[in-house]
Structure 1
Amino acid sequence: MEGNDQAVWIGPGLNAYGEFTGDIYVPANADSVFNGRGRVFSLEVQGTRILAGLGFTSTRGGSSVNAAQGYYQSNDSGNDWDFITFPLDEKADDSCDAASIGPPCDIEFEYGDTTYIRTRITVPEQSPPYEVDFYDQTILSVNWASGLLRSRDNGENWERIFLPPSNVSNLNPEESYGWVSVTPDDEVINRYDPRFDNNLLGFGLLIDDQQRVWVGTASGINVSENALTAPVDRIEWRHFSWNPESQEGLLSNWVVTIRQQPDTDRIWMTNWITDSENRDEYGIVYTDDEGETFHQFLEGVRANDIGFFDEDIYVAADNGLYISRDDGENWKRIPQISSPNTFIKPDARYFAVTSTEQNLWVGTSDGIASTSDGGENWEILRVDVPLSGGNQYQPDAPNVNSYAYPNPFSPTQHSVVRIKYRMKNPGPATIRIFDFGMNPVKTIRVPTVPSSGSYETAWNGLTESGRIASNGTYFYSIETSNGFTNGKILLLD
């Protein structure tokens, strides 16, 4: 998710939600997403300019694998889109095989005054754009196998930017370097090869307000003062990695998300564990001196994103939303978000955080929530069918008094089934669940609701005695001050 002053842009479908209109926008000419196999892996929004990194699910060796598709860019708030093809190397000569070393099978490149070789990246598999960013006409894209890519002409032409080997702390053109690659005969050679060096596997990306470039990999964080403008063979990097012998620095080596705290020099990043000996930690860190020192927070928490709103810090994590109102000294966890009308499931994962001028927005595995008052009150946006019938994807859906979803419902897969109904007046409600023989299974009493409108109540598939209900058809009855309405649920284990 990414926000601007007009809307919140949301993946994986390249939708936007208008804060002032309440409309969900579906791009008319983004066919690669809406009529094709693509989906949004990354977003960057600045004013009216929107850049989306696209990928798709491919199959290799009988397994599903993420693959790169390209990019969509709009300069008019999403009214028109231009597709940018993902850059890949040309395929090698037919005489090349896995044991081939050097040109024409590998590609030569210059860094400083030294010539090196790198392996070709000729297929889109393992290279979806995990993060994108831009400054003026320069676009950066960080990818797993393809590493860091740069276009200085708004996507017309692309260059591969070379990152330091995992075992060095600086990369500069005055020195010579050795990247590790291994042949099928177990010969170790100097070749730039993401299969054998975790610092070449890109995941996080940020262009900060000083035009420094930050790249997170599976082997730490890389910082460059000149990666936006310098020729490829003159770009310099500083590389910081997790040190198991130190109590300071990064918590672990996999740097997933990188964010700058507004109006400060603080660069925050999420750390995920990678150590085979389990010596590292999940958590978040920040640096305000370009990586010389790091401050550690939320150790043990698998954080997915970091956001800022009204000088507070928000962290979306697997186990809830964390808030700090004192620059990280203390944290409060919100395990579940609810609104007067609906809720986010208790076991939902929290993936994304962004903000607009009006609201903080949080993306979860069970919908999107927004707050304008620091989390005291929430509005929840979910893609469902209104009782009045129809939405963007099902415009011909009929009017109903109630319905249950998902339906069929699996307690193990979905955790809860939501029963949606209308309250014409304030008051209580009672939902009764019956089996196929009309024997009572569960009664759920809803306290008095404050106003009319649509509401949701959840059933977790348990009977009054706490057992999981058997497979079969169940009926529900909703009693309100306006009378009764009924429906049915198909439960499948």
Structure 2
Amino acid sequence: MKRILIWLCVLGLGSAPAWGQDSPRLQELRPTMGLASNTVQELASAGDSLWVGPLLTVYAEEDERLFTPDDPVVEERLGTGSNIVLSLATETGPEERPTVWAGLAFDTGGSTIGAGGFLVSTDGGASFAERPAPLDGPADSTVTYGTSTLPAVPITQEAGSPPRDLAIEPRADTVWAAAGRSGLRRWTAQDSAWARSVLPPDTSTRVDPSTPTDFLVAPPLDDGRGFQNHRALSVLVDETGTVWAGTVAGLNRSTPEDVGPSGDRAWRLFRPDGTPNSLPGQVVLGLAEQPRPNGRNPVWIASLRTDGGSVLQRSGLAVTPDGGATFRQPLVGEQVNDVAARRTRVYAATENGLFVSDTQGKTWRTVEEVLLAEANQAFPGTITARAVEVTPAALWVGTTEGLLRLDRADEPRLLAEDPEAPPPEWQLFRTEVPVNPDEPTEQVPDVETYAYPNPFVPSRDNVVRIVYDVPEPQTVEVSIYDFGMSRVRTLEEQEPAGRQETVWDGTDASGLRLPTGTYLYTVEVGGTTVRGKILLTN
């Protein structure tokens, strides 16, 4: 949601190595100097490698560097700044080359984001194809559900229907998408189309295709019809083949035994009831499965409270260790954006830092600040954690200031009881290019100032950073002009000597959002003026 917040998304999990040491796969990707955006909101593991949104980057552990797909389809859909990667899922395919699904979204210019379709690779990112957005045709006014034919409102507009979460079933022959107003959708390789899944209405907790029923299949409409449980936000397929779907109204579960002869599924809806044995909040934003050595894998649920409910609600985490038979609330009062887990450790990415537990949520330690391995890097402020993921070699945290990586061997140090023990050192990946480099190259040009990310998409990036060198401590004035050279914003900073940054949020002096276009800027520093330009895209 980013209104429920664009960055509240969930990870897709893979388990086997992405490619071998001698694989030609890395030769089919393009090395990159850094991230395309410092706001990292989506992560998905593919064996020991990590896929990163919002502009589709992969970190290859075997090569210890970042790559981007060298593919014209990716360049066309993501290179112009009109789309972002809102959801990611991976599954290991033949020859240990993972299948990668990337759900795209775009800013509609209003209060919602739109469905941009999908980019799909079945060869580990060497090539990509497009898949359509999960939308209906104008004539799709009914849905067949077991013995019933249900009236439905066709969802034909991209606005409000972005793919907020994805899950791939084993062997990648079925993909599930939680698509906002479009509800829960399913793609099969056989049909090559998105099918609508029928979830319970808000007035019920169960629906079964073998039992005749009659209700409208639709999200909330302006005329008061429709149901919040038909607005899907998250989805997970666990080790047993059970499908979990989070919505604005709660958590839906369908087991393999719930699949009828026609392929339709029965569903059970879980809602908060104000007790510790239910969900803390009604809006289910994220789902993650924890691999455990014995018994069934627990499912962790990140939920958000809603106002005006009939029971007391709180934002936080819930967990069910037994497939929905019981629930408990190990972390409440925090806005949890994402969850990841190892066998003995759980990580929660929140607005107030990274929460870590090795007691299945009975106790937590909070990581609010980090020590960086590179002395010439600085992490500005405390952690605002938007995404978290684990790979066999590392822990990864997506933040508003870049991507953090911690070696797996150092993870236990996050839980150290001794306050005098030195903290672990993190590796930070950011969008960084040196000013006036000693050895200019095609990838690292000789510039006196630059801005990143560029193009700048306010709904995706929050701010653009203008970089320059300051020879001695002084006041620096940055002026931003439209293409007609009318000044639209002036920014002043008292800066120390060295490489510095000023941030701009894409608004004018009165706080109004500026339209798409090319903007020029000047930096008055050290008695000289340096210039650059920014492409702003809404």
Aligned equivalent of 2:210: 174
Is the counterpart of residue 68 in structure 1 residue 115 in structure 2? yes
Is the counterpart of residue 291 in structure 1 residue 324 in structure 2? yes
Counterparts of 2:145 and 2:191, CA distance in 1: 23
Counterparts of 2:297 and 2:67, CA distance in 1: 35
Counterparts of 2:319 and 2:90, CA distance in 1: 23
Q: How far apart are residue 350 of structure 1 and its match?
A: 1.0
Aligned equivalent of 1:38: 83
Secondary structure of 1:234 counterpart: coil
Counterparts of 2:230 and 2:346, CA distance in 1: 30
CA contact (8 A) 1:433 1:476 kept: no
Q: How far apart are residue 163 of structure 1 and its match?
A: 0.3
Is the counterpart of residue 377 in structure 1 residue 411 in structure 2? no
Q: How far apart are residue 394 of structure 1 and its match?
A: 7.6
* Counterpart amino acid of residue 34 in structure 1: G
Counterparts of 2:464 and 2:188, CA distance in 1: 48
**Among candidates 147, 164, 168, match of residue 183 of structure 2:** 147
**Among candidates 299, 305, 308, match of residue 276 of structure 1:** 308
Q: How far apart are residue 65 of structure 1 and its match?
A: 2.4
Q: How far apart are residue 110 of structure 1 and its match?
A: 2.7
Deviations 1:25-55 (A, max 9, x none): 2442212222473221110112321111112
Aligned equivalent of 1:54: 104
Counterparts of 1:346 and 1:155, CA distance in 2: 49
Aligned equivalent of 1:28: 71
In the TM superposition, what are the counterparts of 1:1-16 in structure 2 within 5 Å? 1-16=43-58
Secondary structure of 2:78 counterpart: helix
Aligned equivalent of 1:328: 361
CA contact (8 A) 2:335 2:350 kept: yes
Q: Which has the higher contact order (CA 8 A, sep 6+)?
A: 2
CA contact (8 A) 2:176 2:185 kept: yes
Aligned equivalent of 1:107: 141
Judge which range, 149-158 or 378-387, deviates more.
149-158
CA contact (8 A) 2:468 2:499 kept: yes
Deviations 1:189-241 (A, max 9, x none): xx222113111110010010111100000111011013996566631111101
Q: How far apart are residue 297 of structure 1 and its match?
A: 2.2
* Counterpart amino acid of residue 162 in structure 1: V
CA contact (8 A) 1:304 1:351 kept: yes
Distance 1:39 1:459, change over 3 A: closer
Distance 1:475 1:177, change over 3 A: same
* Counterpart amino acid of residue 365 in structure 1: T
Counterparts of 1:327 and 1:418, CA distance in 2: 43
Counterparts of 1:337 and 1:36, CA distance in 2: 31
Q: How far apart are residue 144 of structure 1 and its match?
A: 0.8
Is the counterpart of residue 250 in structure 1 residue 274 in structure 2? no
Is the counterpart of residue 301 in structure 1 residue 334 in structure 2? yes
Counterparts of 1:390 and 1:87, CA distance in 2: 49
Distance 1:487 1:260, change over 3 A: farther
Counterparts of 1:329 and 1:78, CA distance in 2: 39
Distance 1:6 1:234, change over 3 A: closer
Given the two structures, how large is their TM-score scaled by the length of structure 2? 0.69
* Counterpart amino acid of residue 284 in structure 2: V
Counterparts of 1:86 and 1:337, CA distance in 2: 39
Deviations 1:146-177 (A, max 9, x none): 11111222671221110011232221123344
CA contact (8 A) 1:138 1:228 kept: no
Distance 1:224 1:394, change over 3 A: farther
Distance 1:390 1:6, change over 3 A: farther
CA contact (8 A) 1:316 1:352 kept: yes
Aligned equivalent of 2:3: none
CA contact (8 A) 1:39 1:55 kept: yes
**Among candidates 125, 149, 160, match of residue 78 of structure 1:** 125
In the TM superposition, what are the counterparts of 1:95-134 in structure 2 within 5 Å? 107-134=141-168
Q: How far apart are residue 474 of structure 1 and its match?
A: 6.8
CA contact (8 A) 1:433 1:475 kept: no
Counterparts of 1:399 and 1:109, CA distance in 2: 58
Count of residues in Structure 1 that have an aligned counterpart in Structure 2: 416
Distance 1:90 1:321, change over 3 A: same
Counterparts of 1:273 and 1:112, CA distance in 2: 34
Counterparts of 1:334 and 1:111, CA distance in 2: 47
Aligned equivalent of 2:28: none
Structure 1: stretches of 5+ with no match in the other structure:
93-105, 180-190, 408-412, 422-430, 446-454, 461-471, 478-485
Aligned equivalent of 1:186: none
Aligned equivalent of 1:101: none
* Counterpart amino acid of residue 67 in structure 2: I
Is the counterpart of residue 342 in structure 1 residue 367 in structure 2? no
* Counterpart amino acid of residue 159 in structure 2: E
**Among candidates 446, 449, 460, match of residue 398 of structure 1:** 446
Identity of aligned residues (%): 25
Counterparts of 1:326 and 1:371, CA distance in 2: 20
Counterparts of 2:523 and 2:78, CA distance in 1: 37
In the TM superposition, what are the counterparts of 1:366-445 in structure 2 within 5 Å? 366-372=401-407, 373-374=410-411, 375=414, 376-386=424-434, 389=437, 395=443, 397-398=445-446, 433-435=473-475
**Among candidates 275, 294, 297, match of residue 265 of structure 1:** 297
Deviations 1:85-104 (A, max 9, x none): 12422224xxxxxxxxxxxx
Counterparts of 1:233 and 1:436, CA distance in 2: 65
Counterparts of 1:71 and 1:110, CA distance in 2: 26
* Counterpart amino acid of residue 197 in structure 1: F
* Counterpart amino acid of residue 360 in structure 2: D
Counterparts of 2:499 and 2:190, CA distance in 1: 46
Aligned equivalent of 1:99: none
Aligned equivalent of 1:184: none
Q: How far apart are residue 13 of structure 1 and its match?
A: 0.6
Structure 2: stretches of 5+ with no match in the other structure:
1-42, 93-97, 221-225, 415-423, 455-461, 478-492, 504-521, 533-538
Counterparts of 2:179 and 2:453, CA distance in 1: 35
Counterparts of 1:259 and 1:354, CA distance in 2: 10
Counterparts of 1:344 and 1:167, CA distance in 2: 48
RMSD over aligned CA atoms reads 3.7
Q: How far apart are residue 242 of structure 1 and its match?
A: 1.0
Aligned equivalent of 1:193: 218
Deviations 1:352-400 (A, max 9, x none): 1112111111101110000011152200000111357599x98352177
Distance 1:218 1:227, change over 3 A: farther
CA contact (8 A) 2:89 2:166 kept: yes
